[in-house]
Amino acid sequence: MAVMTDLLGYAASFAVLATFLMRSMAALRLTAILSNILFIAFGYLRGIHPVLLLHLALLPINVWRLFAAENGAAVPSRILRSIGLPPHGLWSALGLFAGLWKPLAVILMAALPRV
């Protein structure tokens, strides 16, 4: 099992490397989404909580940015406004999450069973 999870980690790392070789934004985002999914699986299987939490946070950002690149930058702002959030609401929420990262990580790590 350890060899398989190591291979998963290497595949995720190579996917991140591949993002730097992409010439279009859509290809970059799709490759980044793949790396997020692989790192989520790797972090979960290995019990590496910082990797798991980071890629759980990055996955919706990459999906959102892919959607914005495909449909025009104004579309995400219109969606945020339609649900009652200002266009900068997403970044405010991410900033709040970043500020609470360490306390949340400590609480989560204390709550998760030891592997």
pTM: 0.64
In the chain, domain spans:
2-111
18-40 pLDDT per residue, tens: 999 998 888 898 999 999 999 99
Q: How far apart are CA 104 and CA 11, in angstroms?
A: 28
| pLDDT (0 to 100) of residue 92 | 62
Chain centroid, CA 80 distance in Å? 19
Q: pLDDT confidence of 67, banded at 50, 70, 90?
A: confident
Q: How far apart are CA 11 and CA 14, in angstroms?
A: 5
Q: What is the CA radius of gyration of the chain?
A: 16
Q: pLDDT confidence of 51, banded at 50, 70, 90?
A: very high
| pLDDT (0 to 100) of residue 2 | 81
Are the C-beta atoms of 66 and 33 separated by less than 8 Å? yes
Cβ within 8 Å of residue 90, ≥6 positions away: 64, 76, 80
